[in-house]
């Protein structure tokens, strides 16, 4: 039974990864409904929070149906990170996750995200102080290392556990790899098999089929799978994995009618959360390609979906898709 602090997550929990501009409350709610055991917010800048930046503060929104939910923050300045604890705790998440893995240049250049993999002492110190200053469990998400020549993830995991983090999610790539090449889960296995480790170790990277999730569970012996890109426009992925675990068979393909219905619900939730029709419509654009992936001759419909800001026109496109392909 995997646990974060006292929060029981089940035998092999499926976790929705924190993804910038993806893991917002509308999407998290749909993933939770479809079987996600744990969800995370988009990563939130500690500097943005202490400056009360509107975009950062909005990301703190969490709702009852999402639980257990973790708020993920990033930063490299100890004072700023500690000042965010009180702000984050006011949103009442179940735990706080520290992002030590984001490979994006604008984050890394400030020494945050995966940038901190160049300074393991600071990584440990930040984690230790966060644990001391928060009444909530502190967890960490990171990568294998800065590059292939500096992978010390077994040592890093021990050091983070020693200062009191409650769970560790590891993306099986280095920062240098970004999202290219294949994720290497062998290093994550080494962390899990280290007899000193007792906190849950979650694997992340390339879990894009039910078979891969099963491999992570049965072959690599990890405590749970954190799933990111495979869920975009496909909140059913969690249900598909769980069905495969239970039966050894794949769920039938998601019908066009189900895809349209889910895309509509997602759109409605997006507009309601943003409290602005046009912004809610635009926030959904990154999902449409995936909701309707694999449908031949779909280009003209997709083009309309990602260019219009008119809600009536969008619903007309959905109706056309149903008539044409349903």
CA distances 205 to 26, 27, 144, 245, 248, Å, are: 23, 20, 11, 19, 22
Question: Would you say the C-alpha torsion 2, 11, 188, 221 has a positive or negative sign?
Answer: positive
31 carries an active-site annotation: no
CA torsion 322-235-93-22 (nearest 10°) is -80
Catalytic residue among 16, 38, 88, 102: 102
> At 193, phi and psi to the nearest 5?
-85, -5
Residues labelled as active-site residues:
102
């Amino acid at each position: 039974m995997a646990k974060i602090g006292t929060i029981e997550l089940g035998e092999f929990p499926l976790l929705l990864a924190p993804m910038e501009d993806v893991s917002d409350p509308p999407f998290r709610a749909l993933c939770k409904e479809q079987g996600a055991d744990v969800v995370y917010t988009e990563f939130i800048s500690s500097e943005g929070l202490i400056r009360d930046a509107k975009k950062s503060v909005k990301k703190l929104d969490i709702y009852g149906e999402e639980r257990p939910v973790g708020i993920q923050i990033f930063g490299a300045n100890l004072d700023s990170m500690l000042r965010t604890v009180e702000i984050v705790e006011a949103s009442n998440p179940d735990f706080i996750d520290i992002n030590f893995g984001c490979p994006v240049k604008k984050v890394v250049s400030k020494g945050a995200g995966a940038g901190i993999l160049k300074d393991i002492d600071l990584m440990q110190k930040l984690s230790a102080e966060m644990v001391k200053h928060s009444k909530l469990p502190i967890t960490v998400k990171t990568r294998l290392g800065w590059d292939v020549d500096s992978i010390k993830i077994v040592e890093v995991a021990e050091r983070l556990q020693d200062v009191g983090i409650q769970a560790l999610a590891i993306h099986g790539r280095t920062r240098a790899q970004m999202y290219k090449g294949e994720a290497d889960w062998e290093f994550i296995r080494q962390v899990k098999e280290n007899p000193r480790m007792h906190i849950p170790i979650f694997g992340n990277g390339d879990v894009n089929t039910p078979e891969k999730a099963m491999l992570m569970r049965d072959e690599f012996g990890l405590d749970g799978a954190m799933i990111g890109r495979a869920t975009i426009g496909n909140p059913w992925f969690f249900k598909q994995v769980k069905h495969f675990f239970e039966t050894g068979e794949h769920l039938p393909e998601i019908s066009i009618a189900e895809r349209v219905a889910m895309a509509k619900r997602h759109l409605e939730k997006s507009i309601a959360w943003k409290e602005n029709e046009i912004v809610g419509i635009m926030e959904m654009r990154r999902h449409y390609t995936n909701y309707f992936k694999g449908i031949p001759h779909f280009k003209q419909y997709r083009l309309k979906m990602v260019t219009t800001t008119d809600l009536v026109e969008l619903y007309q496109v959905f109706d056309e898709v149903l008539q044409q392909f349903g």
